[in-house]
């Protein structure tokens, strides 16, 4: 397994580059959560927790989705461990896993590491990244075991539309395919929060966490859940052997973050995002650049006229880190992913590098 291409881009960046390439917001973590963490350190004994996570936190996650709490929640070391443990628990050698193109690149890598076969289906870039039903139908084989997607999408910054979502759910139900939906960006909506997949009538596992919504990436806290507890049981067992349990302190912080009061904190984060998006949008329109209109932060998927890897390389040389769309699949070719979840000054600096670079290319 090669070191991921994303990592290579960061490693090759000039010092002091502006970073539009990260997978997290560069905003401050809500202060109340940090204060809470310090209080816990002063007042509690930090030990192992139950493998699946603290009972109150698991209840709180079920409550967040408004689903009954059974043994149907597992607290994980970030959404990343939730993805790994879910795929690890169900994939046997030769099993096929359907993955949209474009998509978060780790899905492919993990499936291959598990001796599964990643099979991509198309979100059509010529049709606003709409699901290509035929592409999906054609990829079904007797070995198709799971379908994994993120919604909102990384790198697209959009949710599947109503029709596409219904299509995916019907497809999974009809063909007895386990659906994993990574909803890590769901709280970072620009206008309206999308409905979780948790209540869809198919075998669905929903994954999320607080790395993005609450700027808690370094705390490594996420979860997975389903209304069908039989789907979660084997994952809890795997999780126990993978890492025993998620960090105690991060679990306590998550419990606080999921309490009603703390959601005011993320509304502040969202205000910044909406503000930043306006800046980016105005800028793109001024430059006459096309982009895929996002419903969720922090990614903007920008259409490029020249080869996206070439453009990303030029931008990197000029001190701006971005992600070429091709990294996320062939349908990302001639697109560029930029993360505008950075402070306003940095945002403007980066956009200027983007502008100068593009102007120098079209001169």
Here the tokens at position 229 are 């507890």
Asked if residue 21 binds its own copies (CB under 8 A), the reply is no
Per-residue string for binding with its own copies, 102-131, x by CB under 8 A?
----x--xx--x-x----------------
Return the axis-axis angle of helices 248-257 and 31-43, rounded to nearest 10°: 130
| Total interface residues for its own copies by CB under 8 A | 48
If DSSP states are collapsed to H, E and C, what string results for 170-212? HHHHHCCCEEEEECCCHHHECCCCCCCHHHCCCCEEEEEECCC
DSSP letter, residue 247: -
Looking at 134-142, 147-155, 230-238, 275-283, which segment touches its own copies (CB under 8 A)?
230-238
Asked if residue 263 binds its own copies (CB under 8 A), the reply is no
Q: Which of 356, 82, 21 is nearest to 210 (CA)?
A: 82
Select from 63, 173, 175, 240 the one that contacts its own copies (CB under 8 A).
Answer: 240
Looking at 179-187, 243-251, 259-267, 288-296, which segment touches its own copies (CB under 8 A)?
243-251
Asked if residue 289 binds its own copies (CB under 8 A), the reply is no
Here the tokens at position 52 are 């699946």
**Distance, CA of 135 to CA of 131 (rounded, Å):** 8
Asked if residue 17 binds its own copies (CB under 8 A), the reply is no
The H or E element spanning position 340 is none
Asked if residue 93 binds its own copies (CB under 8 A), the reply is yes
Looking at 29-37, 143-151, 161-169, 189-197, which segment touches its own copies (CB under 8 A)?
29-37
Largest CA distance in the chain: 64
By CB under 8 A, name the binding residues for its own copies.
1, 3-4, 7, 24, 28-29, 34, 37-38, 41-42, 45-49, 51, 77-78, 80-81, 84, 93, 106, 109-110, 113, 115, 216-220, 234, 237-238, 240-250
């Amino acid at each position: 397994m090669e070191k991921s291409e994303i990592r290579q881009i960061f490693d090759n960046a000039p010092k002091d580059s502006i970073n539009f390439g990260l997978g997290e917001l560069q905003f401050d973590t809500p202060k109340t959560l940090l204060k809470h963490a310090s209080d816990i350190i002063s007042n509690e004994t930090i030990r192992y927790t139950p493998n699946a996570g603290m009972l109150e936190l698991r209840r709180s996650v079920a409550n967040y989705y408004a689903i009954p709490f059974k043994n149907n929640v597992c607290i994980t070391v970030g959404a990343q461990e939730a993805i790994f443990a879910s795929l690890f628990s169900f994939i046997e050698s030769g099993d096929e896993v359907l993955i949209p193109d474009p998509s978060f690149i780790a899905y492919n890598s993990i499936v291959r590491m598990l001796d599964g076969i990643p099979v991509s289906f198309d979100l059509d870039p010529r049709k606003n990244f709409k699901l290509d039903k035929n592409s999906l139908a054609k990829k079904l084989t007797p070995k198709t075991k799971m379908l994994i997607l993120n919604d909102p999408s990384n790198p697209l910054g959009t949710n599947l539309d109503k029709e596409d979502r219904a299509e995916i759910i019907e497809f999974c139900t009809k063909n007895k395919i386990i659906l994993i939906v990574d909803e890590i960006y769901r709280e970072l909506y620009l206008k309206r929060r999308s409905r979780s997949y948790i209540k869809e009538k198919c075998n669905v596992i929903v994954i999320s966490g607080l790395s993005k919504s609450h700027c808690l990436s370094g705390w490594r806290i996420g979860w997975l859940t389903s209304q069908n507890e039989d789907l979660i049981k084997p994952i809890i067992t795997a999780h126990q052997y993978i890492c025993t349990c998620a960090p105690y302190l991060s679990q306590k912080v998550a419990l606080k973050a999921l309490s009603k009061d703390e959601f005011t904190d993320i509304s502040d984060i969202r205000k910044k995002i909406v503000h930043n998006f306006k800046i980016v949008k105005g800028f793109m329109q001024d430059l006459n650049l096309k982009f895929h209109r996002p419903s969720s932060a922090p990614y903007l998927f920008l259409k490029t006229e020249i080869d996206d890897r070439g453009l990303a390389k030029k931008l990197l040389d000029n001190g701006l880190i971005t992600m070429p769309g091709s990294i996320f699949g062939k349908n990302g070719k001639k697109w560029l992913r930029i993360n505008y979840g950075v402070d306003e000054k940095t945002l403007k600096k980066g956009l200027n590098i983007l502008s100068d670079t593009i102007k120098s290319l079209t001169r």
